[in-house]
Chain A
Amino acid sequence: MFPHYVNLWGKQIHPHLLFESLGYAVAFGVYLVLRRRFGDNVTAPTRWVVVAGAVAGGAIGAKLLFLFEDPQLTMRNLQNPAYLTGGKTIVGALAFGLLFVELLKNYIRLSRSTGDLYAIPLCLGIAVGRIGCFLTGLGDNTYGKRTSLPWAVDFGDGVPRHPTQLYETLFLVAFIPILYFVLLSISKRKDRSVRTVFVDGDAFKLFMVAYMTFRLLCDFIKPYPRIFLGLGGIQWACLLVLLYYSRDVARWLRLAGVSRRLSLRQA
């Protein structure tokens, strides 16, 4: 039965409200733990500036990209403030959060990477939030296309669908150990105790590349309108972010190749 309200102390709480709030809280808690464990590479005022920029950009981007999900529907609702301010998308939040922070860093002339501590909290926060999307069902517009796979879910319209929200949660939870390993490698590299291909900022970049690639592929099994060349608005945003990080991906692949050749020569 969707939406599946959660009973908390005798009160019926909407699952999206509950899990989205829980996602923010978990992400913030994990961020504090990681900051204590790995330290912060910027001063307190700079961190506040970066956090404010990321949150503001994220909030605006989440709504802005939502309007491009279905441009025809948006055009029909230009006079409807409820539609224009309603809905949001994580890809927009991440892309515009990144854009705002980079612009802000450029304005205050800060060249140091500041995103590594956000990678795991974002991963965990989105994973928790997606459980709320799944329990909300059709009203959340994050479900998948019809499928005959044994784990298909009927969200209440009689159509067995891909539970794409749960795919995302599983993917993100599985990716957390990799991000932790990268954070650890960067931290040990600073102590010069280990050689690694990763440098400051790579944990966040790796998260962005992995998540955008996942969404680019996963959105093919979602019933969204395709706006251009068979891709939806969110997929185009994913492609733009991947293009932005293409130099970093090339660097990882090049260094991984060098590292493999070195280890083969030593063997």
Chain B
Amino acid sequence: MKLIGTIALALVVIVASLLFIVSSICMVSGASVAGGRILGGVFALCCLGVIVGGMSLIARIHGKP
């Protein structure tokens, strides 16, 4: 159960991290419009929340008392 939980959480964190990176304007420049960029900022913040939450849970699962 611990292994499955760790793998699932790690995958969520990795996917969120990649999306967070992809959201950079450097990568999508030329394809974004002004409104899209603000949405991109909100999307990046959501990804950041998932990363921080996921890492906290992973640390809690593996933390030794």
Q: Which residues of A contact B (CB under 8 A)?
A: 3, 14, 16-17, 20, 24, 44-46, 48-49, 51-53, 55-56, 58-60, 62-63, 81-88, 100, 104, 107-109, 139-141
Chain B residues with Cβ below 8 Å from A16 are: 26-27
Closest-CB distance, A52 to chain B (whole angstroms): 4
- Contact of B3 with A44 in the complex, beta carbons under 8 Å: yes
Chain B residues with Cβ below 8 Å from A49 are: 6, 10, 58, 62
Contact (A85, B10) CB under 8 Å given A52-B58, A60-B51, A108-B63: no
Known: A56-B55, A59-B20. 4 other contacts (CB 8 A): A52-B9, A81-B40, A82-B32, A86-B37
Contact (A55, B13) CB under 8 Å given A45-B2, A48-B7, A49-B58: yes
Closest-CB distance, A187 to chain B (whole angstroms): 26
The A interface, classified by DSSP as helix, strand, loop or mixed, is helix
- Contact of A108 with B64 in the complex, beta carbons under 8 Å: yes
Closest-CB distance, B33 to chain A (whole angstroms): 11
Closest-CB distance, A66 to chain B (whole angstroms): 8
Closest-CB distance, B5 to chain A (whole angstroms): 9
Contact (A85, B13) CB under 8 Å given A45-B2, A45-B3: no
Q: Which of B23-45 contact A (CB under 8 A)?
A: 23-32, 37-38, 40-42, 44-45
12 CB contacts below 8 A, A to B, read A45-B2, A48-B10, A49-B62, A52-B54, A52-B58, A53-B55, A53-B58, A60-B51, A81-B45, A82-B40, A86-B24, A108-B63
Taken together as a complex, chains A and B put the C-alpha atoms of A139 and B28 apart, in Å, by 11
Give the interface size class of chain B: 35 or more
- Contact of B23 with A85 in the complex, beta carbons under 8 Å: yes
- Contact of A108 with B62 in the complex, beta carbons under 8 Å: yes
Chain A residues with Cβ below 8 Å from B51 are: 56, 59-60
- Contact of A88 with B55 in the complex, beta carbons under 8 Å: no
Closest-CB distance, A107 to chain B (whole angstroms): 5
Contact of A82 among B18, B31, B38 (CB under 8 A): B38
Q: Which residues of B contact A (CB under 8 A)?
A: 2-3, 6-7, 9-10, 13-14, 16-18, 20-21, 23-32, 37-38, 40-42, 44-45, 48, 51, 54-55, 58-59, 62-64
- Contact of B3 with A58 in the complex, beta carbons under 8 Å: no
- CB closest chain-B residue, reference A14: B30
Chain B residues with Cβ below 8 Å from A87 are: 24-26
Contact (A82, B37) CB under 8 Å given A55-B13, A55-B17, A56-B13: yes
Taken together as a complex, chains A and B put the C-alpha atoms of A49 and B37 apart, in Å, by 32
